[in-house]
Amino acid sequence: MVVNHHNLEESLKMKLSLVKVVNGCRLGKIQNLGKAGDCTVDIPGCLLYTRTGSAPHLTHHTLHNIHGVPAMAQLTLSTLAEHHEVLAEYKKGVGSFIGMPESLVYCSLHDPVSPGPSGYVTNKSVSVWGFGGRVEMTVSKFMAIQEALQPDWFQCLSDGEASCAEATSMKRARKSVDRSLLFLDSCLRLQEESEVLQKSVMIGVIEGGDVMEERLRSARETAKRPVGGFLLDGFQGNPTVTETRLHLLSSVTAELPEDKPRPVLVELEWCLSDVGASRSKEVAIDLRRCSDCLSRLICGVSRPDEVLECIERGVDLFESFFPYQVTERGCALTFTFDCQLNPEETLLQQNGIQEETKCLDQIKKIEAAGCNQEMTSFEISLKEKKYQEDFSPLVRGCSCYCCKNHTRAYIHHLLVTNELLAGVLLMMHNFEHYFRFFCSIREALKSDTLAQLKELIHRQMS
């Protein structure tokens, strides 16, 4: 099938400008976003996680009290598909409908927190799961819904059931890639014919499970199409195969279109990476004129340590569902991302006391994890009785509304009495803490201290 992509290519005016590339990590901005082309997204960065178009637990007013909210909100098709008739009649798009006309909107297929059951993908359709159950998506229905939503970006229909979380047969991996490419070509053709979607950007999806050959084929073939970016799907899941997943991710990002900046004064220096693919080292070079780069998103990866691993492998944008999961557990994010030691910590280190303190903290984390197996070492559970008389803020020095106005003891009280305000205050803190974490990543890349930040994060893991 031959598709005329001329109009689509004309509509893709957004530009990824890289300021710096350090051992695969990309620092820069995605510019000319939005219908008017006046919005910018910093990378590495994250999206604002929403459920049915609203930040969990928060009103628009409380959301505006959070510092550093991402410019782009993530809406999930699984929560919106059942309401597309209303949006089609509204005709102004989902951003205006949910009261966030100033935000960029990215529509993904599935909710990363509530993935649907597997086994419902065919050569003609993909199923999503809403509140009323299964919704079958053919290409024509999917694109009709996108016309009703009018998102700035949207994930193309794809077969994402072959993942790295479990072993995938060659046959199943090949089928996932073939189906995804077929869906992509069909969606591109319908977008070409749609006047409403001419300013929307379609994100191509890289599939193939844990089969290297199929992953690379998916990357190469998707890159041949006029997509506005790449979504790396299926890299979430089983922690026992982390090294395998990271090796696969490195190979896939290396296969995507190479960055082609126009060097000023000096030339790029190239070397072979550990996976045998060419990658640029950091040199004294102006990368701001880069025009051939496309953004790389990843789905299902949101934990701080995993985020840093993916950034080192060239990923630009992440989902922010992790703060929501932490909130739902009645927990608060408390991990530190400040690489600068304060004077007290320096003194402890000099006196040899730091190791003892670290051991005690480790024991406390293990005991806390025993109470809630889903907990990570990046959070504390405020349901625990020990916080009943703890009148300190969630995180000392945190500038969020919750930490400036309330204490751990108060949040503990709200949780044990099942007050709705507990979710509101925890969500405000956890979102702001997480968004500041991404700011610290960008600052670390600017100052060449990402290795120190990564070491700091890993030291806090139990």
User: What is the C-alpha to C-alpha distance for residues 259 and 188, in angstroms, rounded to an integer?
Assistant: 24
Average of per-residue pLDDT across 245-272? 63
pLDDT of residue 195: 94
pLDDT of residue 361: 52
pLDDT of residue 286: 37
Burial class (CB in 10 A: 0-12, 13-18, 19+), 74: buried
User: Which pLDDT tens digit goes with each residue over 79-134?
Assistant: 898 888 999 999 999 999 999 988 999 999 999 998 888 888 999 999 998 888 89
pLDDT of residue 208: 93
**295-312 burial: b if 16+ Cβ within 10 Å, else e:** bbbbbbbbbbbbbbbbbb
Extended beta strands in 132-183, E state? 133-138, 153-155
Q: Is 398 annotated as a binding residue?
A: yes
pLDDT of residue 258: 61
Mean pLDDT comparison of 165-174, 285-294, 351-360, highest-scoring range: 165-174
Q: Tokens at residue 206, please?
A: 């890289």
User: Which pLDDT tens digit goes with each residue over 433-459?
Assistant: 999 999 999 999 999 999 999 999 999
**Mean of the per-residue pLDDT values of the chain:** 84
Q: What 3-state DSSP class applies to 389?
A: coil
Burial class (CB in 10 A: 0-12, 13-18, 19+), 363: exposed
Q: Is 339 annotated as a binding residue?
A: no
CATH topology of domain 12-320: TIM Barrel (3.20.20)
- 354-371 and 343-350 helices, crossing angle to 10°: 110
Q: Which residue has the tokens 């599939």?
A: 207
**114-144 burial: b if 16+ Cβ within 10 Å, else e:** ebbeeeebeeebbbbbbeeeebebebeebbb
Average of per-residue pLDDT across 61-86? 93
User: What is the C-alpha to C-alpha distance for residues 58 and 97, in angstroms, rounded to an integer?
Assistant: 17
Q: Tokens at residue 174, please?
A: 């090949």
Please give the residue that has the higher pLDDT: either 287 or 69: 69
pLDDT of residue 292: 53
User: What is the C-alpha to C-alpha distance for residues 217 and 247, in angstroms, rounded to an integer?
Assistant: 16
pLDDT of residue 165: 61
Q: Where are the domains of the chain?
A: 12-320, 327-459
Average of per-residue pLDDT across 1-16? 57
